């Protein structure tokens, strides 16, 4: 019973430890292959062919080929070809279809390409390349990969392909040079914040690929102390492809750039505060009327306005006395004289 478990464990270990890319080594007839690939199984591709050749003009292959490669000697027994190299020394300068030369009718054995890969920083809102530029920290960006290596990840071209056969790796480094493994959609501690895994191992099956999840990356997110999780500065995306041992085929950095690796950077700058707006009253522009068209100003005749006369209050009537009759006056004077004379005596 224990032996059974040990056997199962060994199988699991073998599956885990075996190279994931081994299943993309098997190439179909006429399938794309790339200069620098090594260890390819082309038995299915060549069928019973022993010599492959390249013609510059495929419309006329009646003459001798520009170059050819002998895979097996003509008189030898046909054997499986499970470790064939698309060597730069043999195939560079001869892109396109390679035909079977020793069989009629001729058929395409391999379709040879120079590997191409590039990565750019892409503004999702404006749909434009912002590689090498300075943009506001709130700019909605992602990475964009353009490559012809997507043709490998096709069941038609690599017949033993599995979902684990991806060979692209993307890294993102912050201004301090540290790799970022995940991205935050908000500040730490916020109930709505999500921590998303950075799209570091894309399975690219199209000529153009955009990094996933980065549209949700909130670079204004804050940590538990209130500081910014993502400081302003330069962030760098780097893509590396490891198809078929190409890193060993292209030994110098210049040869690898654009073939096996590519990098792109963007610099995030703080968002500018809106300046205080001042409103200037527009000055009145005097209107000049051309001569001859002056409209005379109408003369306004002032009419005399009589102010209203205030109502006069009637004076209070004074008390008047009627004069005494004359005879009364004379009689009174005579009486006064008599009294005065008597008083002297």
Domain boundary among 91, 113, 135: 113
**For residue range 243-262, what is the model confidence (pLDDT) as tens digits?**
999 999 998 999 999 999 99
Residue ranges, the chain, pLDDT below 70: 1-22, 74-78, 273-333, 336-345
89 and 198 share one domain: no
98 and 138 share one domain: no
Domain boundary among 65, 90, 113: 113
* Per-residue pLDDT, 272: 80
* Per-residue pLDDT, 320: 44
77 and 141 share one domain: no
Give the integer Cα–Cα distance in Å for 33 and 97.
Answer: 10
227 and 250 share one domain: yes
Let me know if residue 280 belongs to a domain: no
* Per-residue pLDDT, 334: 73
Any idea which residue has 């302003």 for tokens?
232
Contact 124, 218 (CB under 8 A): no
Contact 95, 113 (CB under 8 A): yes
Any idea which residue has 């071209």 for tokens?
157
Give the integer Cα–Cα distance in Å for 337 and 343.
Answer: 10
Let me know if residue 291 belongs to a domain: no
123 and 243 share one domain: yes
Question: How many distinct structural domains can be found in the chain?
Answer: 2
Give the CA distances from residue 269 to residues 8, 23, 138, 217, in Å, rounded to whole numbers and listed in that order.
Answer: 55, 45, 9, 16
Let me know if residue 283 belongs to a domain: no
58 and 33 share one domain: yes
* Per-residue pLDDT, 11: 44
141 and 225 share one domain: yes
**For residue range 281-332, what is the model confidence (pLDDT) as tens digits?**
555 555 554 544 444 444 444 444 444 444 444 444 444 444 556 655 566 6
- Residue-range definition of the domain harbouring residue 107: 20-113
- Three-class SS state of 268: strand
Domain boundary among 269, 292, 319: 269
263 and 150 share one domain: yes
The values of phi and psi at residue 283, to 5°, are -75, 145
Residue 227 C-alpha from the chain's centroid: 23
Let me know if residue 208 belongs to a domain: yes
235 and 164 share one domain: yes
């Amino acid at each position: 019973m224990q032996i059974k478990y040990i056997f199962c464990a060994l199988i699991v270990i073998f599956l885990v430890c075996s190279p994931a890319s081994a299943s993309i080594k098997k190439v179909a007839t006429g399938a794309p292959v790339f200069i620098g690939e090594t260890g390819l199984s082309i038995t299915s591709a060549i069928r019973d062919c022993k010599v492959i050749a390249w013609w510059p003009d495929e419309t006329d292959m009646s003459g001798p080929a520009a170059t050819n490669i002998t895979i097996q000697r003509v008189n030898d027994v046909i054997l499986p070809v499970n470790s064939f190299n698309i060597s730069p020394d043999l195939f560079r300068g001869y892109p396109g279809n390679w035909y079977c030369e020793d069989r009629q009718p001729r058929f395409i054995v391999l379709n040879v390409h120079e590997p191409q890969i590039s990565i750019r920083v892409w503004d999702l809102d404006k749909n434009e390349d912002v590689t090498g530029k300075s943009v506001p920290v709130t700019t909605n960006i992602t990475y964009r990969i353009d490559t012809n290596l997507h043709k490998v990840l096709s069941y038609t071209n690599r017949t033993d392909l599995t979902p684990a056969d991806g060979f692209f790796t993307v890294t993102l480094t912050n201004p301090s040079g540290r790799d970022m493994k995940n991205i935050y959609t908000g500040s730490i501690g916020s109930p709505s914040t999500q921590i998303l895994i950075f799209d570091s191992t894309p399975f690219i099956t199209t000529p153009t690929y955009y990094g996933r999840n980065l549209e949700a990356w909130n670079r204004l997110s804050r940590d538990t102390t209130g500081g910014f999780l993502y400081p302003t500065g330069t962030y760098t995306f780097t893509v590396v492809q490891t198809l078929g041992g190409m890193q060993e085929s292209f030994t110098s950095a210049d040869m690898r750039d654009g073939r096996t690796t590519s990098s792109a950077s963007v610099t995030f700058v703080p968002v500018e505060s809106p300046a205080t707006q001042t409103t200037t009253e527009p000055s009145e522009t005097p209107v000049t009327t051309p001569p001859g068209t002056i409209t005379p100003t109408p003369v306004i005749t002032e009419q005399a306005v009589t102010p209203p006369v205030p109502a006069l209050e009637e004076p209070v009537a004074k008390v008047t006395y009627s004069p005494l009759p004359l005879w009364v006056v004379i009689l009174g004077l005579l009486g006064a004289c008599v009294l005065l004379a008597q008083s002297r005596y």
